Chains A and B, each alone.
Chain A
Amino acid sequence: MEIVCPAGTPASLRAAVTAGAHTVYCGFADETNARNFPGLNFDRAEMRDGIAFAHDRGTKVLIAINTFPRAGDETPWHRAVADAESCGADAVILADLGLLDHAARNHPRLRRHLSVQAAAANADAVNFYAESFGVKRVVLPRVLSVQEIAAINAETEVETEVFVYGGLCVMAEGRCSLSSYATGRSPNMNGVCSPASHVEYHDENGVLDARLGGYTIHRVQKDEPAPYPTLCKGCFSAGEKTGHLFEDPVSLNAEQLIPQLQKAGVTALKIEGRQRSRSYVAQVVGNFRAAVDALEAGRPMPEGMLARLSEGQAMTTGAYKKTWR
C-alpha cells in the first residue's frame, strides 16, 4: 500500500522522503491550499526543488489545490494548477467542480485526485468525478466505516485513499463552516480551520484557556493535556449538560486497521499534518512505512509509538470501527 505523507515545508518534504514516504503532498503558500498557515508551504522555486529531490529518490509529489475559488477571481487557482504541472507534480488534489473542469480541459496530462474537501462519500459520487473530470483517485472523508469503504471500492474502479493518522475532522469536509462563525474564515474559502490569527491561549496558574475568536473553547487544569481550540472538538454547555458535543480532542490512528483497509481495496494511506514539524513527519512516516512493510512481508504489525504526538494525547479509530459517536 502507498503511504501518502504531509509536508508543510521543504525541510518536512526532505524528512518525509528520507523516512520512507512513497508519496508526499504539499501546497503553495497561498489561499489555494487548505493549510494556508503562517510560515508554511512552498513558493514556486521551493516546489520545483522539492519535487526534484523527491523524484531523485523515487518518491512522488502531489500538490493540494483544494480550496474553493471565489467566483470572478479564479486566476490564483488556475495559475496554481498550471504551475503544479510545470513544476513536475505527479498529480494535483482538487475539490472544486469548476477547477476540476478547468484542469481536465487545460491540463489533460496532469493526473487529478479528488480532495477530501469534495466530500465524495459514496460510489455514485466517486464515479461521477471519474467520468466527468477523469479523476483517478478519491480521498475519502473520515466519516466512513471500513465496511462502507469496502462497499464503495466494490462499485468503482477509481483508486481510494483514506486517512490513517492525524487530526480528526468529524464534519462533512468542504461543507463545514463552523470556523467562520467564530472567525469569519473557513478551511473551504481561506484554507484555515481555527485560524491562528484568531487563537489565543491564556495560562493562569496552570489553568489553560484556549480561545477562538474571543470564545473560550476549552479550559484545562494543570497537567491536563492541552487541546487546539477547534469548534467541533470544543467543550460546550447545553441545558444542564457540559461536554464535548461532537468529538473529544483526540487524533485519528488507524494503524492497526491497515490490514482491514487493504482487504477493503484501499490503494493509499494518508497521514494528516502539514502544519506539524519535520520531527512529527519523520516519526509518523517511519512508523507507518514500517507497518506497511511488515504487512507486505507477512510479519506482525509493529506496535506504534505515536500517542505523545496526538492531540489530547489520546487516539481514536474514528468512524472506521463505528464505536465513535
Chain B
Amino acid sequence: MECPLSHPIPQIPQFPVALAALLRAVPLAPLSVSLTAVSRSIARRHPGLFRRLGPYSQTVFVLDPTDLPLVILLDPNDGVPRVTLARGRGEGAARIAGPLAALLGLVHGAFDGDALFFSRDLVIEGDTSAALALRNAVDDAELDLSLEISRFCGPMKGPLQRVIMLLERHCGVSLTRAAEGAIR
C-alpha cells in the first residue's frame, strides 16, 4: 500500500541574489588561500575525516553551491587539503551540487543527504562512490564550520560566533553543528 507524501519538504533557503551578484566581483584567490588554511586546520583536528576517504584521498571534488556564482574544488591531497574557488563548472571526479544552505546543512548534520537527493535538492554527478565516501566521512566528522573558522579570529572569536548564531536564527541556514533534537 503506497501512501502519498504527507509532510512537505522544508524549503531550502536560497542565497540572496544581490549578495551572489556581489560575489562575481570578489577576487577568488585570497579566499581560496583562507579556505585552504581552514581546511588544513580541520584536517589536523579531524584526521578521521580524511582516513575515511580511503581510495578517494586524492580525488578532486567539485562542490557546487548552485545559488552562488562559483564552485569549490576540494582536493583532499592525502590529508593536506587544498581548496580552490573557481568560476564556471570546475573540473573534478565527482560533483555535488545544491543550494549553499543544503551543502552547509549536510556538513552540520542538519539534513540527510539521501533525503535531499530524493527531493532533487541535491545532484550528484561523476564518481558516485567518491561522492558517497566524502558525504559519509563528513557526516562522521561532526564538523562545526563556524567554530573552525572562528579559530582564526583571535580575540574576535566570541563576537564572530555570536554574529553567526544570530544570522543562523534569522536566515534559517545551518551555520553551526546541529544540536541533538534540532535536526531537520
- Enumerate chain B residues within 8 angstroms of A196, measured Cβ to Cβ: 128-129, 131-132
Asked whether, in the complex, the Cβ of B142 is within 8 Å of the Cβ of A11, the reply is yes
User: Which A-chain residue is minimally distant from B184 (CB atoms)?
Assistant: A279
Q: Which residues of A contact B (CB under 8 A)?
A: 8-12, 15, 18-19, 37-40, 195-197, 199-203, 208, 222-227, 248, 250, 275-280, 282-283, 286, 305, 307-317, 321, 323-324
- The bracket for how many chain B residues form the interface is 35 or more
Q: How far is the CB of A231 from chain B (nearest CB, A)?
A: 16
- Enumerate chain A residues within 8 angstroms of B112, measured Cβ to Cβ: 276-277, 279-280, 283, 309
Whether B139 sits at the interface, judged by CB under 8 Å, is yes
A-B contact count (CB 8 A): 141
- Enumerate chain A residues within 8 angstroms of B139, measured Cβ to Cβ: 9, 11-12, 277-279
Whether B137 sits at the interface, judged by CB under 8 Å, is yes
Asked whether, in the complex, the Cβ of B128 is within 8 Å of the Cβ of A283, the reply is no
Asked whether, in the complex, the Cβ of B6 is within 8 Å of the Cβ of A38, the reply is no
Q: Which residues of B contact A (CB under 8 A)?
A: 1-9, 52-56, 106, 109-115, 117-120, 123-125, 128-137, 139-142, 178, 180-181, 183-184
Pick from B55, B141, B181: contact of A11, CB below 8 A.
Answer: B141
Asked whether, in the complex, the Cβ of B128 is within 8 Å of the Cβ of A197, the reply is yes
Q: How far is the CB of B108 from chain A (nearest CB, A)?
A: 9
- Enumerate chain A residues within 8 angstroms of B129, measured Cβ to Cβ: 38, 195-197, 199
- Enumerate chain B residues within 8 angstroms of A307, measured Cβ to Cβ: 3, 5-7
19 additional contacts (CB under 8 A) given A39-B135, A278-B139, A309-B114: A8-B136, A11-B109, A37-B136, A38-B56, A40-B136, A196-B131, A201-B124, A203-B123, A278-B142, A279-B109, A279-B110, A282-B180, A309-B112, A310-B118, A313-B9, A313-B118, A314-B5, A323-B1, A324-B1
When A201-B128, A223-B120 are in contact, do A278 and B109 touch as well, CB less than 8 Å? yes
In angstroms, Cα B4 to Cα A314, docked, is 6
User: Which A-chain residue is minimally distant from B125 (CB atoms)?
Assistant: A201
Interface of chain A, main secondary structure: mixed
Q: How far is the CB of B21 from chain A (nearest CB, A)?
A: 24
Asked whether, in the complex, the Cβ of A39 is within 8 Å of the Cβ of B142, the reply is no
Pick from A40, A223, A225, A283: contact of B183, CB below 8 A.
Answer: A283
